Chain A
């Protein structure tokens, strides 16, 4: 099965900082990559699908890029409400594996 590896596992940044999270697939998955945000105690929420398409209603400070095996989620200007754990997920074929998550905190 294809493994999904995120880095870093956690980060602390200041409000207004640019934040980048990476996700690497152990085999090529084209652009079948999604990013989810899970705020503490809340249900996960889809941010980006098809590697770079912003889900309706998601703020434009979030963006995604990449294809094949290397992907990036970028928050252009970190806001207090962005404190959450972020997960990537492949969905080209079963099993639809998640990355282990990246916890984002405010410095």
Chain B
């Protein structure tokens, strides 16, 4: 079964760093792009960026460039989304998704709460 399993919910303080993960299984991880999508509370879906685990080629949405870092470790079939200094406005659900053409397989989501 093709699946993406994300790391668990996080509660952080403003200014802290964070790295969340997305582990793929059931398919050749290096052959599909992985996307990250943000959904703020009660809001719509926002495309953050994508990475190709085969060579770590990465593209960012202009809205998120410089705000987050997307990376991958192909040896363990895992993609990452990280922040160096969280803000309260980073509070959201974050999804990873496989790009099989469109986003055909989604992770279960990771809730990130940033509060002092």
Contact = CB atoms under 8 A, between A and B. Distances in A.
Interface of A: 1, 34, 36, 38, 43-46, 49-50, 55, 85, 87, 89, 91, 94-101
Contact of B102 (A49, A94, A95, A97): A49
Interface string B16-44: 00000000000000000001010000001
Given A49-B102, A98-B44, 20 more contacts: A34-B103, A36-B45, A43-B106, A43-B107, A44-B37, A44-B45, A44-B95, A44-B103, A45-B106, A55-B104, A85-B44, A87-B44, A89-B47, A91-B101, A94-B50, A94-B59, A95-B60, A95-B62, A100-B44, A101-B44
B109 interface: yes
15 contacts: A34-B101, A34-B102, A34-B103, A36-B103, A43-B108, A45-B106, A46-B103, A50-B101, A87-B44, A87-B45, A95-B63, A96-B35, A96-B47, A98-B47, A101-B44
Nearest to A99: B44
Nearest to B97: A44
A34 B49 CA distance: 17
Given A1-B62, A94-B61, A46 B102 contact: yes
Instruction: Determine which residue in B95, B97, B102 has the highest number of CB atoms from chain A within 10 A of its CB, and name it.
Output: B102
Contacts of A1: 62
Contacts of B104: 46, 49, 55
